[in-house]
Chain A
Amino acid sequence: CTKDLDRMPTNSITSEVTYKDVAGYKSVLAKVYGSYATPGNDGINQSDLAGLDPGQGDFLRLFWNAQELSTEEAHCVWNDPGIPDFHNLNWTSSNVLLAGLYNRSLYQITVANELIRESSDAKVAGRGISGKDAEDIKKYRVEARFLRAFQYWVLLDLFGNPPFVTENDPIGKYIPPQIKRADLFAYIEKELKEIEPEMIGARQNEYGRADKAAVDALLARLYLNAEVYLGAGKGRYADAVTYAKAAIDGGYTLHPTYKNLFLGDNNLNNPEVILSINYDGTKTQNNGGTTFLINAAINADMNPASFGVPNGGWGGNRATKNLPDLFTNVADKRAMFYGDDAEITNVADFKQGKKITKFRNVTTAGAVIPSPRGDGSSVDFPLFRLAEMYLIYAEGVKRGGTTGTEAQALVYLNNLRQRAYGNTSGNISSYDLQYVLDERGRELYWEGFRRTDLIRYDKFTSSTYLWPWKGGVKDGRGVEAYRKIYPIPSTDLTANPSLKQNDGY
C-alpha cells in the first residue's frame, strides 16, 4: 500500500485545474492585481511573503513608507525596526521594510510572469479555450504585462538595479540575473509601448483593471524621470508630455470635489482616477493599504468615527511643518490638517506635528462604511489620476518638452487651482519649475510621489532643502547622494550571488 504515500491536499488545486476555463484565469488575474492590495490570501494575518509582519507586508504601506517617510511630507512616531531609518535617512541593506517592498514588487512580478506563462496562445488553445474567452484571456495577459512593468518601474525608481525575471524563466532552482538601471528603463519602455495598442481603450475596462490610459500614464511618469534614471542630459521630456497628453485625452475629467477623491465610496462616479488599488473593509481586509493611511494618521483623540474607523486610530504618521507651509493661501481646500502644533521637537510624541485628514472611510454623504473590526477602510487608492498627468505635462513643457505648450500647461494648472479654491481667485498666469514641485506637494501629498519628486529636483539628499529631522537632526541636514536609490536588501544579496550592491552601501 505504498500508494497511500501519494496524498493530495483537500482544498487546494493543481495548475491544470486552475486554468481549465476563463473563470480560473480571471481568479489568477485577481491575484496579479490583488498582489498590490492585500498582504496575502487569507485576511490580515497571512502574508505571501516571509520576514515581515503581514500587517506591514502589503505593497501600498511599504511603498508609501519609502516614498513619504523619507521626505518632509510625513514623519512617523513609531520606533518599529526600519521606520526611524526613513526620517533619519540612514537606512542600511538590512532594513526590513525596504526588503519587504523589494520582495513585494518582485512577488507581483513573479505572479504576473506565471499568468503570462500560462496564457500563451498555445497554452490557451491547448486547454480547449477559444472565442471570446480566449480573447478575454489575451487582455488578462497584456494587463499582467502592464502590472509587471509597473512593479519594474517601482524597482527602477527605488532600487535602481534589481534582479530581472520574465515568463521565460523557470520557477524553482534559478538565479535571476541583475539588470542595470538603464537597461531596465529600456525594457519597461519597450514593454509598455508594445502592449499599449493591445490594451482595452481608456475608461472602457472593468473597474480596477488597467486600460490604455494607465499605460500612457506610466510611460509619462517614466519619461518625466528619465534624467534621474539615465543620467544628466538624457531627459525625455517631450515623450513625457506626449504620453501625459495621451492619458489626458483618454476622456478623464477632474473630480469636482477634491476631498471626495479620498473617501470610502471613491469607486463611484469618479471621472478622474485612471487606475486604483481597490480596498474593501470587509472583503479586502488589510492592516496596510488605505486602512493604514487612515488609522496611522489619527489617534483616539481625533474622533476616529469621523474618519469611518470607530475602533481605529493608531497614532503614527503626521507631517513636518514644511508640508502645511506649502499652503500659503487659506482658501486652498486641499489643505486638510488637524492640530495646531506644526513643530516636532520630540520625535516620539504624536501630539506634535500636523495630522493629515485626507483619507477618510466615509461616504460622500458622511456615513461610516462598516468593517468587521471597526477600523478597516474601503477607500480605493489612486495609483494614477488625471491631476498627476496635468502636472507632468506642465513640468515636461517647462523642462523643455517641445510636444506641448505653456499655454496648455497653464490651462491644466489652473484647472487644479480652480478646483482647489472653488473659484478662479488662485489662478496663475505664469509658472516656474519650483511652482510645479510645490503644486505637486499641495495636490498629491501623501499619495506616494514625494521622494521621486525631490530627487528629480535634487532636493532629496542635498542640503539645499531641509526639513525638521531630515537626516536625524532637529533642523535637518543633507546626507550622502548615494541615498537617492535604496540598497539591494542583504537577504537577496545572500540568496542571489549574481547581485551587486548599489554604490555607497
Chain B
Amino acid sequence: QVTVSGKVTDANAGIALPGVSVQIKGTLRGAQTDAEGQYTIQNVTPESILVFSFLGKVSQEITVGANKVINVKLADAARDLSEAVVIGYGTAKKKDLTGSITSISSKDFQPGSIQTPEQLIIGKVAGVSITSNSGQPGVGSTIRIRGGSSLNASNDPLIVIDGVPLSGGTISGAPNPLSLINPNDIESFTVLKDASATAIYGSRASNGVILITTKKGKSGRPTINFNSNVSLSKIARRVQTLSAAEIRQYVDSLGTPAQKALLGTANTDWQDEIYRDAITNDNNLSITGAVKNMPYRVSVGYLNQQGILITDKLQRASGSINLSPRFFDDHLKVNVNLKTAATRAHYANQGAIINAVQFDPTQPVRDSSSPFGGYFEWATTDPATGVVTINPNAPRNPVGLIRMQDNNGKSDRTFGNIEFDYKFHFLPGLRLNVNLGMDATKGWGTTYVPANAGQAVATKGQNNQYLQRMFNRVGEAYLNYVKDIKSIKSNINVTAGYGYYDNKTKIYNFPSYSANKDTIAGSVPKFPYDIPQNTLISYYGRLIYTLNDKYILAASLRTDGSSRFSKNNRWGVFPSAALTWRANRENIFKDAKTLSDLKLRLSYGVTGNQDGIANYSYLPIYSLSSNASLYQIGDQFVTMSAPAAYDANIKWEETATYNAGIDFGFLNDRLRGSVDVYFKKTKNLLNTVPIPVGSNFSNQILTNVGNIENKGIELSLGATPVRTGKMTWDVGFNLTYNDNKITNLTAVTDPSFIGNLTGGITGGTGQTIQIHSVGYNTFSYFVYKQVYDKNGKPIEGVYEDLNKDGVINQKDMYRYKSPFAKVMMGFNTQFSYDKWTISTVLRANLGNYMYNNVASNFAVRRNILNPQNIIANSTKDVFESNFYNNQYQSDYYVQNASFLRMDNLNLSYNAGRIWRDKVNLRVNATCQNVFVVTKYKGLDPEVNGGIDYNLYPRSRTYVLGVNLDF
C-alpha cells in the first residue's frame, strides 16, 4: 500500500482546482484538493481506481498502478453529455433527456449582489422571463415560463427545492417567500418546460417547473469558503417631473390669482428627498467535509441590505445544514437538508414614491408651524379658532409619509427534508425513495404611525400588528427500477410513486388601533383567526424505454386529487409521451467529425393548474359580515349572514402542450444549441365570467370556461470561439418568441361579448385599462384611438369613430397591444485570460407595451392647478399633451416599452494562493443594471402587468466582492 499525491488543474485555464473530490472507487475513502489543487491519499493499493470529480467538470477515473504522483487535468463538463441533470423524481443524463429542459449550474449564475434565488438565472434560459417586482430589498420576481397559461388562476411555475414543492403564497412580514432561501446555498436550477418534462408534476405543472438543488456535503478534508461583498446602490432613473421653477412658471402663466397664492418659496426635489445611496453587505461562510463516512455541508449567511428609499432595510440571517451519509454498503443513501432563515425588515412607506412625483416642489419639507410632526402638509387654518384641518384629498408630504411610519416586519422560516434512497439488496436495479419535507414559517410585524402624522389624522395614528403562521408538509415515496436488457439492446427505467401535500396557514386577525392603542371602531374582527388549508394527494408513474441507445420513448401519468374540488371533480389525470432520436448515433453521421451531437425530440402531454383557486369555492356556504358591515334593525346592529356564490362543478385547468426540439453540437460542442417549437392549449380555463344575474349570489363566477393558446419558438446557442491555454471566450445567446391568444371565453358563443375587463388603474374609481377578448392577446389594452393634430400633438378628448356610427362611445374602444414581449433575448459572454475574467449579461424584450399611468394620472393641467385647492406636480408629459383633463382611456398613454438592458458587467481576478499558500483569493467587481435603452417615457420599461404606477425604482448597483477558499 502506498501514498498517492498529485495536483489537479483546470484543463483549459491551467490553474489549480481546489475542492476537487478524489475518491477511491467503491469506498467512501478519499480526499479533497487544497487551495493549490494538491491532494494526498494514504493507504492506496495499486488496483485502486481514483475518481476525480468536480462540479462542472468531466469526472476522471485513473487506476493507481505503480504511480505515486497522479496529476490530473479536468475538462469543463458543459460539453459533457453524460452529465446528470435533475428531473422530476430522479436524474437523467443530458444525452438521454426527452423533454425540453434547461439546467443552469452555479458557475453560470448571474454574479454580483443577489439576494433572492430566482435572480441568479435572469436572462439565462430561453422561454423563461423573470422580472423583479420592483427595486425594494429582497422583493420577489414574477417568473413566467413560456407565457402564462391562465387568466385568473396562477401563472407562477412550481418551484421544487431538493424534491420538496413550495406551496406558493406569500408570507406577511417577508418581502417574498423565496427571499428566505440564501442564493449562496444553491447548486443548480433546472427548468422543465415541455409537458414531457413537467407532466410528472401533474396538476401543478401547467406553468412549468423549476427544480432547485442545493449544495451538498463532499467527502474529504474540510474546505472552508468565505465570500463577502459590499455594494452601493444608486437610483438609476427617476420620474421626470417639473422643477420648482417650471411649476412657478406654469402656475404664473395659467393659474388664477388664488392658485398663484398657493405657491411656496422653496425649491424641493422630492425625489432627492426620499431616495438615497444604499449600502448592502452580504457575507457567507460554508464548511464542507466529512465526519467519518458522513459528508456534510454547513453554511451561514448574513445579509444587511438598505433600500434606496430612505429607512428601507432588510436583514437576513440564514443557516443551512446538509448531511448525506450512506449505509449498508451504499445501498441506503440518506440526505438531510435543513435550512433556516430569519429576516428583520424595516419597510419604508412606499406611498411616498408616488407622492414625491405629485407633491408641489415649491413647498418645503419642513414647516416649523405644522402640527403634523413639523412636516409641511396641505391644510387649512380656521382664522377664528386657529384649528388646522388637513386637506384629505391632497397628496401627503413624502418625507413625512416615510419618517412618520414605522413598519417592522419579521419572518422566521425553517425548511427541510429528509430523503432515504434504498437500493434493494436482492434486486439492485430496484430503488425505493422516500422524501419527507416540511416548511414552517412565521411572519409578523407592527406598523406604527404617530397620532399627529398627516397620513393618519382621521384615526389618530396607527398601531397595528399582523401575524401569520404557515405549515406545509410533503410526503413522497417512489419505486424506481432500471434494467438493461442487452439481448434486445434495450434499457427500461420505470418509476411509480405516491405523494401527499398539505398546505396550512393560520392567519391571525387583529383590530386596527390608533397610535395610543385605542381600538378603531368597527375594526374588531369577528374571528380571532382563519386557517385556510388545502391538500393534494397524488399517484404517478413513468416509463423510459431506450432502444439501442438511439431511440428513447418516455411516458408518464399522474393523477392528482385536490381538496379544492368537489368529490365529482376531485381527481385529474395528466398523461405525457415523448420520443427522442439520437440521430448522431446513426451510421450516416458516423464519419461526420464535426457533428458531436444531434438529437430530435417530440413530446405531448397534459398538465393541470389549480393554484390561485380559492380553497372552498365549490361549497355552498354562508359567511358572517364583519363589524364594519352590520345592519341596523331596531336599535341593534345585526351581523349579516350572506350566502356565497359558488360553482359546485369547479375543476382543473388543463393545458395540452406539443413540443418539437432539436439539440445539436459541432466541433466537439464548441458550438452547441437547441431549438424548440411549442404549442400550448389551455382548456377549462378558470375564467371569471358573467353569469345570468339572478342565478347565483353574484354576477360573476370563477368557472371552467374558455381556452387560451400559447405558441412559441425557443433558441439557445452557446459557443466557445476561443479556447487556448490561457484564454477562453464563451458566448451564450437565447431567443424566445411567444404569442398567446384567447380563443374562447364564454360558455355560450357570443360574438357581441367584448370580453372581461381587467387591469385596474389609478385615477377615478374602478377604472380598468385592459381586457381579455377572444381573438386577442391576454391583457390587451382596451382604449380609444387618439386623434393627433398636424403637428403630431394629441387633441384632447378627440378619438376616432372606429365603428363609424357618428358617435364616440364605448363601442369605439379597441384592443391595442399587450404588456407581453413577443420576443425576448438574452446574451451573455465571458472572456478569461489567465487570472482575469470579464463577463456580461444583456437582455432585450421586443414588442411589449406599457400603460403610463403616472403620466395619465398627473400630466394634465387640472392636476397641477388642482381643484382640491392645491398645486400638484406632474410629469413633463404635460408639455407634450397639453391636456386639460385626464384622458385615462386614450391609447396615447400606451407606450412602446421594448428595451435592451445590461443586467450585469463583472470583472474578476483570481489571485491564486496567498497567506503562505493556504488560501485561494478571488476578487470581483460588478455593476448591476448598467444601462437600459428604451423609448418608453416612464420610469422603467419593466413593470409586471404592464401598468406603470408607484414603482419602487430599480437601482444601479456597484458591487465589490472577495471569495476565499481555505
Which B residues, 603 to 658, have Cβ-Cβ distances below 8 Å to chain A? 615-616, 619-635, 637-644, 647-648
B627 touches A110 (CB 8 A): no
B522 touches A41 (CB 8 A): no
What separation, in Å, do the CA atoms of A38 and B522 have in the docked complex?
Answer: 14
Whether A422 sits at the interface, judged by CB under 8 Å, is no
Whether B381 sits at the interface, judged by CB under 8 Å, is no
B638 touches A27 (CB 8 A): yes
Q: Cβ of A280: which chain B residues have Cβ within 8 Å of it?
A: 630, 632, 637
Whether B765 sits at the interface, judged by CB under 8 Å, is yes
Chain A 1-40, CB-CB to B under 8 Å as 1, else 0, gives 1101111111111110110000010111111011001101
B698 touches A18 (CB 8 A): no
B638 touches A490 (CB 8 A): no
B616 touches A7 (CB 8 A): yes
CB distance from A122 to the nearest CB of B (A): 20
B561 touches A14 (CB 8 A): no
What separation, in Å, do the CA atoms of A371 and B869 have in the docked complex?
Answer: 25
Which of B32-40, B531-539, B931-939 touches A? B531-539
Given known contacts A48-B642, A163-B694, A300-B393, A103 and B533 CB-to-CB distance under 8 angstroms: no
Which B residues, 515 to 542, have Cβ-Cβ distances below 8 Å to chain A? 520-523, 526-527, 529-535, 537
Please tell me which one of the listed residues B527, B530, B750, B869 contacts residue A301 in the complex, with CB atoms under 8 A apart: B869
B695 touches A171 (CB 8 A): yes
Closest A residue, CB atoms, query B526 = A11
B392 touches A12 (CB 8 A): no
A103 touches B693 (CB 8 A): yes
CB distance from B432 to the nearest CB of A (A): 20
What separation, in Å, do the CA atoms of A114 and B620 have in the docked complex?
Answer: 12
What separation, in Å, do the CA atoms of A361 and B807 have in the docked complex?
Answer: 42
Q: Cβ of B534: which chain A residues have Cβ within 8 Å of it?
A: 7
Given known contacts A300-B868, A314-B393, A495-B692, A2 and B766 CB-to-CB distance under 8 angstroms: no
B530 touches A491 (CB 8 A): no
Which of A230-238, A345-353, A432-440, A446-454 touches B? A345-353
A374 touches B457 (CB 8 A): yes
B392 touches A300 (CB 8 A): yes
Please tell me which one of the listed residues A48, A77, A312, A497 contacts residue B748 in the complex, with CB atoms under 8 A apart: A497
Whether B885 sits at the interface, judged by CB under 8 Å, is yes
Please tell me which one of the listed residues B698, B862, B885 contacts residue A107 in the complex, with CB atoms under 8 A apart: B698
Given known contacts A33-B631, A96-B766, A109-B694, A11 and B623 CB-to-CB distance under 8 angstroms: yes
CB distance from A480 to the nearest CB of B (A): 11
B642 touches A491 (CB 8 A): no
Whether B752 sits at the interface, judged by CB under 8 Å, is yes
Q: Cβ of B632: which chain A residues have Cβ within 8 Å of it?
A: 207-208, 267, 278, 280, 283-284
B640 touches A41 (CB 8 A): yes
Given known contacts A171-B696, A278-B632, A375 and B522 CB-to-CB distance under 8 angstroms: no
What separation, in Å, do the CA atoms of A494 and B562 have in the docked complex?
Answer: 31
A4 touches B535 (CB 8 A): yes
Which of B520, B698, B750, B757 has most chain A Cβ within 10 Å? B698
Q: Cβ of A300: which chain B residues have Cβ within 8 Å of it?
A: 380, 389, 391-394, 868-869
Given known contacts A9-B616, A373-B459, A207 and B633 CB-to-CB distance under 8 angstroms: yes
Whether A102 sits at the interface, judged by CB under 8 Å, is yes
Whether A182 sits at the interface, judged by CB under 8 Å, is no
A4 touches B502 (CB 8 A): yes
A494 touches B628 (CB 8 A): no
Q: Cβ of B765: which chain A residues have Cβ within 8 Å of it?
A: 53, 55-56, 78, 80
Whether A106 sits at the interface, judged by CB under 8 Å, is yes
What separation, in Å, do the CA atoms of A170 and B696 have in the docked complex?
Answer: 9
Q: Cβ of A28: which chain B residues have Cβ within 8 Å of it?
A: 622, 640-641, 643
Please tell me which one of the listed residues A29, A49, A114, A299 contacts residue B698 in the complex, with CB atoms under 8 A apart: A49
A375 touches B458 (CB 8 A): yes
Which of B50-58, B546-554, B683-691 touches A? B683-691
What separation, in Å, do the CA atoms of A102 and B694 have in the docked complex?
Answer: 10
Q: Cβ of B767: which chain A residues have Cβ within 8 Å of it?
A: 80-81
Whether B746 sits at the interface, judged by CB under 8 Å, is yes
Q: Cβ of A78: which chain B residues have Cβ within 8 Å of it?
A: 764-765
What separation, in Å, do the CA atoms of A208 and B637 have in the docked complex?
Answer: 11
Q: How many of chain B's residues have a CB under 8 angstroms from any CB in A?
A: 97
What separation, in Å, do the CA atoms of A51 and B698 have in the docked complex?
Answer: 10
A27 touches B690 (CB 8 A): no
Whether B471 sits at the interface, judged by CB under 8 Å, is no
Which A residues, 93 to 146, have Cβ-Cβ distances below 8 Å to chain B? 94-96, 99, 102-103, 106-107, 109-111, 114
B885 touches A79 (CB 8 A): yes
CB distance from B135 to the nearest CB of A (A): 27
CB distance from A145 to the nearest CB of B (A): 16
B633 touches A13 (CB 8 A): no
What separation, in Å, do the CA atoms of A78 and B624 have in the docked complex?
Answer: 34
Whether B170 sits at the interface, judged by CB under 8 Å, is no
Q: Cβ of A493: which chain B residues have Cβ within 8 Å of it?
A: 750, 752
Binding site secondary structure of chain A: loop
Given known contacts A7-B616, A9-B621, A12-B644, A53 and B766 CB-to-CB distance under 8 angstroms: yes
A102 touches B693 (CB 8 A): yes
CB distance from A206 to the nearest CB of B (A): 4
B766 touches A49 (CB 8 A): no
Which A residues, 150 to 170, have Cβ-Cβ distances below 8 Å to chain B? 163-165, 169-170
CB distance from B764 to the nearest CB of A (A): 4
Whether B867 sits at the interface, judged by CB under 8 Å, is yes
Chain B 343-386, CB-CB to A under 8 Å as 1, else 0, gives 00000000000000000000000000000000000001000000
CB distance from A267 to the nearest CB of B (A): 7
Please tell me which one of the listed residues A15, A175, A284 contacts residue B630 in the complex, with CB atoms under 8 A apart: A284
Which A residues, 256 to 310, have Cβ-Cβ distances below 8 Å to chain B? 267, 278, 280, 282-285, 299-301, 304-305, 310
Please tell me which one of the listed residues B570, B692, B869 contacts residue A496 in the complex, with CB atoms under 8 A apart: B692
What separation, in Å, do the CA atoms of A12 and B615 have in the docked complex?
Answer: 12
What separation, in Å, do the CA atoms of A171 and B694 have in the docked complex?
Answer: 8
Given known contacts A1-B500, A8-B616, A55-B766, A26 and B867 CB-to-CB distance under 8 angstroms: no
A41 touches B696 (CB 8 A): no
Please tell me which one of the listed residues B380, B390, B641, B809 contacts residue A18 in the complex, with CB atoms under 8 A apart: B641
B629 touches A42 (CB 8 A): yes
B392 touches A80 (CB 8 A): no
Q: Cβ of B530: which chain A residues have Cβ within 8 Å of it?
A: 10-11
A43 touches B694 (CB 8 A): no
What separation, in Å, do the CA atoms of A284 and B811 have in the docked complex?
Answer: 38
B693 touches A285 (CB 8 A): no
What separation, in Å, do the CA atoms of A331 and B245 have in the docked complex?
Answer: 52
B392 touches A2 (CB 8 A): no
CB distance from A151 to the nearest CB of B (A): 11
Q: Cβ of B390: which chain A residues have Cβ within 8 Å of it?
A: 311
Q: Cβ of A206: which chain B residues have Cβ within 8 Å of it?
A: 633-634
Whether A172 sits at the interface, judged by CB under 8 Å, is yes
Q: Cβ of B748: which chain A residues have Cβ within 8 Å of it?
A: 494, 497
Closest B residue, CB atoms, query A300 = B391
Interface, chain B (partner A; CB < 8 A): 380, 389-394, 457-459, 500, 502, 512, 520-523, 526-527, 529-535, 537, 561-563, 570, 615-616, 619-635, 637-644, 647-648, 688-700, 746, 748, 750, 752-754, 757, 764-767, 807, 809-811, 862, 867-869, 884-886, 888-889
20 additional A-B pairs beyond A7-B615, A92-B810, A373-B458, beta carbons within 8 Å, are: A7-B563, A7-B616, A15-B622, A41-B626, A48-B698, A50-B688, A50-B698, A90-B807, A92-B809, A99-B699, A174-B692, A174-B695, A207-B635, A283-B627, A284-B630, A300-B391, A300-B392, A301-B869, A348-B867, A495-B691
30 contacts between A and B (CB under 8 A): A6-B563, A8-B616, A9-B532, A11-B624, A24-B641, A29-B638, A30-B625, A30-B630, A30-B640, A30-B641, A33-B631, A40-B629, A40-B642, A42-B628, A50-B698, A51-B700, A80-B764, A81-B767, A92-B810, A103-B693, A171-B620, A174-B692, A176-B692, A206-B633, A207-B635, A208-B631, A299-B869, A300-B394, A372-B459, A498-B692
Q: Which 10 A-B pairs have the closest CB atoms?
A: A53-B766, A374-B458, A34-B631, A206-B634, A80-B764, A496-B692, A27-B641, A43-B628, A30-B638, A50-B700
